[in-house]
Amino acid sequence: MKFTLFYLSLLSVTLTACSNQPPTASSPPSFDDQYTELKSDFKVSDARHYGCDQIDQQVLQHVLDSGVSVTQQDVDEQFTTTGCTIHGSLRRNGQPLGFSFDYGGVLQLSDGSLLACGDGCCNDAFDYCSWNPH
């Protein structure tokens, strides 16, 4: 009985200590975010040898303007990544961040947050949309 009480006390202390840890990633993107200084050399990494086309800044700006914040699980379940990617940098609310953009419409920022082209962003036959919510 003493061992069980000791174990429960230790577990309680451990859980309390873990819950007081600061978050490791910054807050996810929101509609109020301002994206500026978008830069990329637009060199395409073609991991699956698809013969990826070149894109321009308008493609990235469209995702930044109309994309939605998603989780990695959302990406895994609702998007198709292509292996066609470009890298670059930008500022979100004045803070510098790197990014990787997959041609499936998924933009991963260096702080771990993800923006993806989902409902609204995929309108008008946007070529870089792989969103499938079903």
Range in 24-28, 68-72, 103-107, 118-122 the model is least confident about: 24-28
In this structure, is residue 15 part of a structural domain?
no
In this structure, is residue 88 part of a structural domain?
yes
Domain hosting residue 70, numbered range: 34-134
Taking phi first (over 0 means left), then psi (-120 to 50 degrees means alpha), and beta for anything else, what does residue 24 get? alpha
In this structure, is residue 120 part of a structural domain?
yes
Asked if 106 and 79 touch (Cβ cutoff 8 Å), the reply is yes
Closest residue by Cα to residue 59 from 96, 84, 23, 93:
84
Name every residue whose Cβ is closer than 8 Å to that of residue 77 and which is 6 or more positions away in sequence: none
In this structure, is residue 13 part of a structural domain?
no
In this structure, is residue 9 part of a structural domain?
no
In this structure, is residue 29 part of a structural domain?
no
Instruction: For residue 31, name the pLDDT band (cuts at 50, 70, 90).
Output: low
Q: 3: helix, coil or strand?
A: helix
Count of domains forming the chain: 1
Q: Say yes or no to pLDDT of 103 above 90.
A: yes
pLDDT tens digit sequence for 80-91: 999 999 999 999
